[in-house]
Amino acid sequence: MTDQSGFTAPTEAPAVRAPRKRLPGKARFGLAIIGLYFLAGIFGPMLLPFDPDAANILQRLRPPSAQHWLGTDQLGRDFLARLLYAIRIDLPVAFLAAFFPMLIGTALGAVAGFFGRIPDIVVSRSADIVQAFPVYVFLLVLVFALGSGATSFILAATVIAWVGYARLVRGEVMRLREMEFVAAARVSGLPPLRILATHVLPNALPQTLIYFMSDIVMMVLVLSSLSFLGVGIQPPTAEWGRMIAEGQPFLRSQWILSVAPGLMLMVFGIALSLVADGLDEWSRK
Amino acid sequence: MTRILEIADLRVDLSRAERRVSPVGPVDLWLDAGECLGIVGESGSGKSLTLKAILDLLPDGLTRGTGTQKIAQGGRLVPTDPRSLRGAKISMISQEPAAALDPLMRIGDLIGEIVRHHSGCSWAEARLRAVDLLRRVGVPDPETRARFWPHELSGGLKQRVVISMALACQSDMLLCDEPTTALDVTIQAQIVDLLRDLQVNDGLGLIFVTHDLALIRQIADRICIMYAGLIVETGPSSEIFSNPQHPYTRALLAALPDIEQSEGRLVPIEGTPPAPTAFPQGCRFGPRCPRASDVCRQTAPALLATEDAQDVKVACHHTGDVT
Amino acid sequence: MSNWLSVQNLSVDFMVGGGLAPAVLRALRSVSIDIEKGTVFGIVGESGCGKSTLARVLSGLTAPTDGQVLLDGKPLGMDRDKAQRRRIQMVFQDPGSSLNPAMSVCRMLSQLLSFHQIVPRDQIEARCRALMAQVNMPVDALDKKPGSLSGGQRQRIAIARALALEPEILIADEPTAALDVSVQASVLNLLSDLIRDLGMTMIFISHDMAVVRRVCDRMAVMYLGQIVETGPTGAVFEDPRHPYTNALMAAVPRLVPRAAGDYQMLKSEQPSPLARIEGCTFRGRCPKAGPVCATLAPVLDGGAHRVSCHFPRAGTNPVTEGSSHGH
């Protein structure tokens, strides 16, 4: 879905856009799918009469049945319950792992782009240092150092992913800084931080939000990969990446154990990408 | 005069519209050899689209509608496909000359390539011809400039180079789409002088599109005033400026500051021109016209010759009503 | 002549290219202007002549390399306080980019009104409406964002933004260059009315000679960062002394065509502002240039109508040709 080229996100945005436009169909379609995920994540586990973490060795690896709609896993847990319960882990963790970098990266990028000089040197060089390491290696090292779990994953992601936002926002702010309406605000005597907050940043926001959307997809995938490798979310908590890994030995007999969480990931990723894409089109109209 | 271009019922349509929406047309145009036709109008009047439609160079989302286009070939007018005319019978220069110049080729090679394409001569000869053409369009020190890259030239010189490329094509007609709008006024005067010289001495036919009434007065022999996609008044330049008939032409002239005058208030035209999707019924200028009456709101006026001047045509129900 | 707003020997150099050998772009070369209160001062010239740089220095956007701006005898630098900023406001050229696309007209105006505490908080909305009336805009425009306004409407809003601060000086940098003729007329009329009614001083920058003639009381013609001629607008138009002014006027297309051969067209183009030119900067294009022009830069000289040329055109009024004979 998202790749490293996301770090050099587009800086071309129209100077003026017409207000009140309908969101493109694909964005609305994507939002509908995400809405379904939310509903499934909130109500699914409540409606199913199973504890997603309760093992029952006697019931292990059962095929789909009237009782267990998607069968059971290698420890005899209801697979559908786990699949839906994982939404409660994957989505919030990925959201926060993209949200904190957005906050920090946007702030740093805005200051660097608007004031230039020393703030810009500090921010740009720090970004260079972070980017000098391969993303996954850096992430693994950080997660190892901080210990497994959701909190350390979010922390580690923040340390790394702010760079993308900082670069994007810095570019946007540098472009906007030269616009006449910013000059007009300076002539009217508004202090620099106020100009940045009320005149520059609101115009950089659409691009940032679009990047945020695709970053969430990225973070879901990263979280799953780490969990797959065993350093993300720890068992027995349900998590798609971990579930894919755990289902691997049974790929021939019970392929659904790996394929279903994979599908959950994929559909979610596509939905978010559709929203990001649609928003991008929408903001350019 | 020999007629070299005759277009009837020129129309530009939106390609993807549920009903037919025509930002331009129907418009009739013709051009004689060595004549300059000026098309003048405000932004959104369709003047530029009209020009682009002649070569079918319309932007995405627009298509050239029906209509016939005849071009002089061997002494008579023959219906011709617009696309086949590009870079041959008809050339075009635009507001942004850089767009017509390949940034990766030297000026001399750019022109030389066209010369070779049209005459099949050798490279060495083509280069010499290129230098000649540059000299013809008034590029100072043409031998040196022929080795320049496009980005090394100023806007005025770039425009001269594009004109020389049109000459290299041996076109009969040059379509000029606001070619001097991005230039300073002293450079504009030079370019206009050059075009005038090519028109008078080489018999080049010009169609010159601009928003600048004073400029069109200076360069055009015959003009068309466009409003909301239609020609509202057309005739010899001197006639139109000394005795404007259409209320829109009059209003435009009243709104225009003239360098000779320091006193008197300018009169703006109230309202805004309609969008192509919302052209009013009847006369398109009606909603902004001080003279509009019921007939104007119901039926569109046809472009008709006036009583006192046969070569002037005006599209107004009230021509001659008021002096 | 009172010098209420006084620009003294203003120079602005920009470093371009960077690296080991940065070039110096001399945007303004020792420009001096005196402007009387309540008048309209026009600045004309072609692109690259420094007229916009002058506007930016006056409005406090660009720092001068040398020289100063005095308002009421007090220097006005880059570090102006709130109250000083308020005194000079600007209307920009491109109505497409001079308004924040993400901000409604109402929010933009209220932000300024409350920041400068121009009216008490509870009267802000009423003042916004009054401003709309002042620039002939319907009140419902307040809720709109610039994207849904036409070019002419946006320029009115930009004027309202400047007026909100009740400035003493309004700088208009090519305010109608992006507008159609019919719309330009209404914006020009609006500006003239405001100047007359509010007693403001206006600095009107334009490349359009016809517009300058209509609007301005006095004017200056700039070429390559210098003023080559300045005086009352009528005098400059009817009796242009500098060969450049003369050529500039002659090059403007007219509705009533002039007789052929009435003027000499300028040869070649304006040299790069990076070039170092000895003597007169205009001599490369000047039909009158003599040997003295290559060695000695002329000085802006004369009474109310001053010209910077060794060989000014003999006018209808006697002119002191101090610079051409003084050495």
pLDDT digits over C67-107, tens only? 989 988 888 888 888 888 889 999 998 888 889 988 999 99
Radius of gyration of chain C, Cα coordinates, nearest whole angstrom: 21
Inspect the interface and report whether the beta carbons of C59 and A187 lie closer than 8 Å.
Answer: yes
The answer to whether the complex's ipTM is over 0.90 is: no
Contacts of C102 in chain A (CB under 8 A): 202-203, 205
In sequence order, what are the beta bridge partners of C16? Answer: C23
Quote the pLDDT of residue A267.
92
User: Is B59 a member of any domain?
Assistant: no
Quote the pLDDT of residue C323.
40
Inspect the interface and report whether the beta carbons of C147 and A17 lie closer than 8 Å.
Answer: yes
Longest dimension (CA), chain C: 69
Exposure pattern of B20-57 as b/e (b: 16+ CB <10 Å)?
ebbbbbbbbbebbbbbbbbbbbbebbbbbbbbbbbbbb
CA–CA separation, A164 vs B117, rounded Å?
50
Inspect the interface and report whether the beta carbons of C185 and B156 lie closer than 8 Å.
Answer: no
Inspect the interface and report whether the beta carbons of B214 and C255 lie closer than 8 Å.
Answer: yes
Q: Which of B191, B259, B265, B272 to mutate to test the interface with C (most CBs of C within 10 A)?
A: B259
Q: Which of residues A213 and A123 earns the better pLDDT score?
A: A123
CA–CA separation, A177 vs A171, rounded Å?
10
User: Is B292 a member of any domain?
Assistant: no
The three-point CA angle C183-C209-B41 to 5° equals 40
User: Is B281 a member of any domain?
Assistant: no
The alpha carbon of residue A179 is apart from the nearest alpha carbon of chain C, in Å, by 6
Predicted confidence band at A21 (pLDDT cuts at 50, 70, 90)?
Answer: low
Torsion of CA C119, C125, C131, C134, to 10 degrees: -120
Quote the pLDDT of residue A6.
34
In sequence order, what are the beta bridge partners of B40? Answer: B210, B225
The three-point CA angle C77-C82-C83 to 5° equals 90
Span of A144-148, B189-193, C32-36, C212-216 with lowest mean pLDDT: A144-148
CA distances from B133 to B111, B122, B161, C31 (A): 8, 16, 9, 42
* Interface residue A187 vs chain C (CB under 8 A): yes
CA–CA separation, C148 vs C128, rounded Å?
19
With contact defined as 3+ CB pairs under 8 Å, the chains touching C are A, B
Supply the DSSP symbol for B232: E
User: Is B252 a member of any domain?
Assistant: no
Does residue A20 surpass a pLDDT of 70?
A: no
The alpha carbon of residue C158 is apart from the nearest alpha carbon of chain A, in Å, by 9
Quote the pLDDT of residue C260.
55
Report for A73-82, B164-173, C15-24: range of highest mean pLDDT: B164-173
Quote the pLDDT of residue C261.
52
Q: Which of residues C112 and A9 earns the better pLDDT score?
A: C112
The three-point CA angle A192-A195-A201 to 5° equals 120
Supply the DSSP symbol for B280: P
CA–CA separation, C231 vs C218, rounded Å?
6
> Which whole number is the average pLDDT over B282-291?
88
Phi, psi of C169 (to 5 degrees): -125, 130
Count of CB contacts below 8 A, B vs C? Answer: 114
Inspect the interface and report whether the beta carbons of A16 and C148 lie closer than 8 Å.
Answer: no
Supply the DSSP symbol for B152: G
DSSP B88-134: TTEEEE-S-GGGGS-TTS-HHHHHHHHHHHHH---HHHHHHHHHHHH
Inspect the interface and report whether the beta carbons of B262 and C207 lie closer than 8 Å.
Answer: no
The alpha carbon of residue A22 is apart from the nearest alpha carbon of chain C, in Å, by 15
Q: Which of residues A71 and B91 earns the better pLDDT score?
A: B91
Contacts of B251 in chain C (CB under 8 A): 182
Contacts of C93 in chain A (CB under 8 A): 180
Q: Which residues of B touch C (CB under 8 A)?
A: 42-43, 140, 154, 156-157, 184-190, 192-193, 211-215, 217-218, 241, 251-262, 265-269, 272
The three-point CA angle C198-C200-C206 to 5° equals 125
Residue B319 φ/ψ region, left for φ over 0, alpha for ψ in the -120 to 50 degree band, beta for the rest: beta
Helix-then-strand count for chain C, H and E? 11, 11
Does residue A173 surpass a pLDDT of 90?
A: yes
Helix (H) or strand (E) holding A80: helix A79-115
The alpha carbon of residue C241 is apart from the nearest alpha carbon of chain A, in Å, by 36
> Identity (one letter) of the amino acid at B70?
K
| Closest to A223 in 3D by CA, of A277, A155, A132, A274 | A155
Residues in chain C: 327
Quote the pLDDT of residue A8.
32
Does residue B50 surpass a pLDDT of 50?
A: yes
Supply the DSSP symbol for A72: B
In sequence order, what are the beta bridge partners of B209? Answer: B39, B177
Span of A90-94, B92-96, C74-78, C268-272 with lowest mean pLDDT: C268-272
Kindly list the domain boundaries of chain C, sorted by start residue: 5-254+270-325
Inspect the interface and report whether the beta carbons of B185 and C248 lie closer than 8 Å.
Answer: yes
Inspect the interface and report whether the beta carbons of C115 and A189 lie closer than 8 Å.
Answer: yes
The model carries a pTM of 0.82
Span of C74-83, C101-110, C266-275, C306-315 with lowest mean pLDDT: C266-275
| Number of domains, chain B | 1
- Chain C, 173-212: which have a CB under 8 Å from a chain B CB? 180-186, 188-189, 207-211
Mean pLDDT of chain C: 85
CA–CA separation, B152 vs B105, rounded Å?
12
Predicted confidence band at B291 (pLDDT cuts at 50, 70, 90)?
Answer: confident
Report for A58-62, B21-25, C256-260: range of highest mean pLDDT: B21-25
With contact defined as 3+ CB pairs under 8 Å, the chains touching B are C
> Identity (one letter) of the amino acid at A169?
V
- Chain A, 126-185: which have a CB under 8 Å from a chain C CB? 179-181, 183-185
User: Is B280 a member of any domain?
Assistant: no
SS3 B72: strand
* Interface residue C261 vs chain B (CB under 8 A): no
In sequence order, what are the beta bridge partners of B72? Answer: B77
Quote the pLDDT of residue C315.
58
Helix (H) or strand (E) holding B28: strand B24-32
Handedness of CA C238, C241, C244, C245 (dihedral sign): negative
Burial of B281 (0-12, 13-18, 19+ CB in 10 A): exposed
The alpha carbon of residue C264 is apart from the nearest alpha carbon of chain A, in Å, by 38
Phi, psi of A270 (to 5 degrees): -65, -40
- Chain A, 192-221: which have a CB under 8 Å from a chain C CB? 194, 198-199, 202-203, 205
Quote the pLDDT of residue A42.
86
CATH topology of domain C5-254+270-325: Rossmann fold (3.40.50)
Handedness of CA C191, B189, C289, B143 (dihedral sign): positive
Inspect the interface and report whether the beta carbons of B256 and C234 lie closer than 8 Å.
Answer: no
CA–CA separation, A202 vs A197, rounded Å?
7
User: Is B211 a member of any domain?
Assistant: no
CA–CA separation, A246 vs A82, rounded Å?
12
Inspect the interface and report whether the beta carbons of B214 and C233 lie closer than 8 Å.
Answer: no
C271 cis-preceded (ω within 30 degrees of 0): no
Does residue B216 surpass a pLDDT of 80?
A: yes
Contacts of A15 in chain C (CB under 8 A): 96-97, 101
Q: Are C216 and C233 in contact (CB under 8 A)?
A: yes
Of C81, C98, C111, the CB nearest to A180: C98
Predicted confidence band at C299 (pLDDT cuts at 50, 70, 90)?
Answer: confident
Does residue B323 surpass a pLDDT of 50?
A: no
Residue C199 φ/ψ region, left for φ over 0, alpha for ψ in the -120 to 50 degree band, beta for the rest: left
How many Cα atoms sit within 13 Å of B286 on the Cβ side?
17
- Token digits of residue C59: 């409005």
Domain that holds residue B124: 98-170
User: Is B102 a member of any domain?
Assistant: yes
Predicted confidence band at B222 (pLDDT cuts at 50, 70, 90)?
Answer: very high
Q: Are A239 and A155 in contact (CB under 8 A)?
A: no
User: Is B195 a member of any domain?
Assistant: no
Quote the pLDDT of residue B322.
52
- The answer, yes or no, to whether B and A have at least 3 beta-carbon pairs within 8 Å is no
Does residue C51 surpass a pLDDT of 80?
A: yes
- Token digits of residue B217: 């007065």
Helix (H) or strand (E) holding A194: helix A192-195
Domains parsed from chain A with CATH numbers:
25-46+72-284 (1.10.3720.10)
Handedness of CA C206, C31, C195, C216 (dihedral sign): negative
Does residue B240 surpass a pLDDT of 70?
A: yes
Does residue A5 surpass a pLDDT of 70?
A: no
Residues in contact with B261: Cβ distance below 8 Å, sequence separation at least 6, in sequence order: C213, C214
> What are the start-end ranges of the H helices in chain C?
51-58, 82-87, 105-115, 124-134, 151-164, 181-198, 209-215, 233-238, 243-251, 291-295, 322-325
Q: Which of C156, C209, C269, C286 to mutate to test the interface with B (most CBs of B within 10 A)?
A: C269
Inspect the interface and report whether the beta carbons of C59 and A19 lie closer than 8 Å.
Answer: no
The alpha carbon of residue C151 is apart from the nearest alpha carbon of chain A, in Å, by 12
Of all residues in chain A, the one with the smallest CA distance to C107 is A198
Q: Could you count the other beta carbons within 10 Å of the beta carbon of residue A240?
A: 27
Of A17, A183, A205, the CB nearest to C92: A183
Mean pLDDT of chain B: 87
Quote the pLDDT of residue C82.
85
In sequence order, what are the beta bridge partners of C42? Answer: C204, C219
Report for A182-191, A236-245, A275-284: range of highest mean pLDDT: A182-191
- The answer, yes or no, to whether C and B have at least 3 beta-carbon pairs within 8 Å is yes
